[in-house]
Structure 1
């Protein structure tokens, strides 16, 4: 039987090594910025981190296929046969990286039967590591010598005043603003990358409406952590939990949130 908590620790070490490779380029003068076919940016750091992660995952005793934003394309005909796989974004928040604001992460998730069951999110600039294992909680470690501290999502009702609503630094559109305006005196929390979901998992915010495109590798690792912290991520249209390894790796618009108290779920 797989010890998922021990596996998360091993993957956390891989994420730290990828973060070190990212910081080496972050502190240089040349990011080597290019534009991909969809006009999203790609840097030398994306490639360097991906190489570290893929090599690290392949060296583990635990073996599973790898789907990475910066890796080889895997057709749906092939990946539809995967019962479990690693889902990787080696540098989530490339725009934040280029802006040098620190809000970028390394994301590594293990997906089983369409659900993210293990998540690792590493923040290179602050040396914060977040990870989860199924049934064993969500954890935060500050610094290489830090001790793991269990984290939990905040408990609230949707009618509470002054809820902290998370929004993207780069993608705050009118549709998202319309949702934010429904709350009673909301406080806006703007973060980049998967840190938006991590804010929910650590109890620093309550709701994150995302009515703009994201890919599965953008969300899977932090989604796994949020689930273990007591929160959820649901399709904005259907209310169903987000699923992974769909024919298209594009996520639907979604709402992520902490522990909404039971009595409100039926209101």
Structure 2
């Protein structure tokens, strides 16, 4: 047991935390993991404390406990920490226990090998879009999105499918006004986005061109759960100048594979 962890145990010996204190501690652990995920790189403990708005002493206690559990690990010699190998084991256990998720990963591998294109699994985290997994194109013109990076929903083809169950008034409350502005300063009119959502709902797929990146054409098809809801999508990210016959061929393949992965009616 580490020296720091021993100190924590001694300091807390005989003291039983109240329910509210335990809850705050759990919340701060979750916030700490979210901070590291968003930062996508090792951080100093003091910087983590600022990011999660917690006292430095409390943050050091949490970090010491997580280091001992191998959920975090020290990086370098200057006080940086990042996710530890226990986190890899948790992710491995999830992906291997969940047979449906294994099927999805196998489909990503197969589609990338068959087409030579970038293929992604996408979903929502809160009111943002994220890439959950990705297989990059092996070609010279590679297009990829970092897994786990949160992106405004209106920037994406998948986003138009993932919010298809919402009415216009719900969408107005759900999507921040700033999320309609693209990286290059262009602004998507909310009414235009709502119309896109309705179209995606009716046709069962979505395509966007040159939104988040002027050089990309994106297409997405829904993966439905056992209740028919769309929690994830299967996507191709293509060069924007991909010929239309090629796009149509890939869209047909995309929809076919997404239907095969859907649990509704299976």
What TM-score does the superposition give when structure 1 sets the normalisation length?
Answer: 0.25
Which one has more relative contact order, counting CA pairs under 8 Å at least 6 apart?
1
Bigger strand share: 1
Which is greater in Rg?
2
